[in-house]
Structure 1
Amino acid sequence: MNKQQGFTLIELMIVVAIIAILAAIALPAYNNYRIRSAEGACQAEAKAYMNSAVSALMSSMNVADPPGRACNAPAKPTAITGSTDFTPKAPGVSHTICSNGTATCTMTPSV
């Protein structure tokens, strides 16, 4: 006689439960990764822009508009004093604040 072999319902339910547990662990970690990478990209863009903007301000040249790829584009700096605030695009939440005089940028990570 030929016996049909396959998985029982209990075995399939155990596999589905294991996959659900792994997904419950992986999805929040992935979301945190997305947030951190959006904030890091904005910080890198802000630092690169502020380096060129400060050198243009010091040389009495025209300051280019912010690129606005990873950050929502702020108003371009017009003076050496003050600071410029860069806001990352979604899903990032932490702002990057750069000094107009030194191009030093800081950010407090959200995750």
Structure 2
Amino acid sequence: MRQEAGFTLIELMVVLVIIAILASIALPSYQNYLTRSRAQAAAADLAGLSAAVESNFQRTLSYHPDTRTGTAAVTAAFTQWAPAQSADFFSYNYTPGSPYVLKAIGQGAMAGCELTLNGANERTASAACAIGSSW
């Protein structure tokens, strides 16, 4: 009598349960990683925008190139700056003044995340950004 080679149904079910447990642990960690990396990219975008604002100030001696808000207006006002990531995750606002205020406001998957940088280099982040309150 010949015995069949292969896996039993119980063995396959055990393997599937182990894979499901590993996936349930890994998925939240991966989502947190994505949130932090997107927020850090937005923080880098704000630092770049701050450099563009200061560069504009050096040329014009004014923090008031454009009083409109939104990513398109900010990009138009500071042509030497463009955000590194797509507008799907953050929109950028510029409020002129002394000190000026730059904001990256999360949208879509990053809704609730708000990063702020002002002319005095004070940085804040909401808890939803997962990068700490002072990045």
TM-score by length of 2: 0.66
Provide the alpha-carbon RMSD of the alignment. Answer: 2.4
In structure 2, the residue matched to 1:84 is 102
Change (3 A) 1:89 1:43: farther
Q: CA deviation at 1:95?
A: 1.2
Equivalent residues in 2 for 1:4-83 (5 A)? Answer: 4-60=4-60, 63-64=77-78, 67-70=82-85, 71-74=90-93, 76-83=94-101
Measure, in 2, the Cα distance between the counterparts of 1:64 and 1:5. 69
Deviations 1:1-55 (A, max 9, x none): 4321111111011000000000110111111111111111100001111122123
User: Structure 1 stretches of 5 or more lacking a match?
Assistant: none
Give the % identical residues: 28
Q: Is the 1:43–1:96 Cα contact (8 Å) retained in structure 2?
A: yes
User: Structure 2 stretches of 5 or more lacking a match?
Assistant: 66-76, 131-135
TM-score by length of 1: 0.78
Rg larger in structure: 1
Count of aligned pairs between the two proteins: 109
Higher relative contact order (CA 8 A, sep 6+): 1
Measure, in 1, the Cα distance between the counterparts of 2:78 and 2:21. 50
Q: Is the 2:99–2:120 Cα contact (8 Å) retained in structure 1?
A: no
1:95 to 105, 111, 114: 114
Deviations 1:71-110 (A, max 9, x none): 3132x443333412211454334211111x3344332453
Measure, in 1, the Cα distance between the counterparts of 2:98 and 2:57. 7
Which amino acid in structure 2 is aligned with residue 72 of structure 1? S
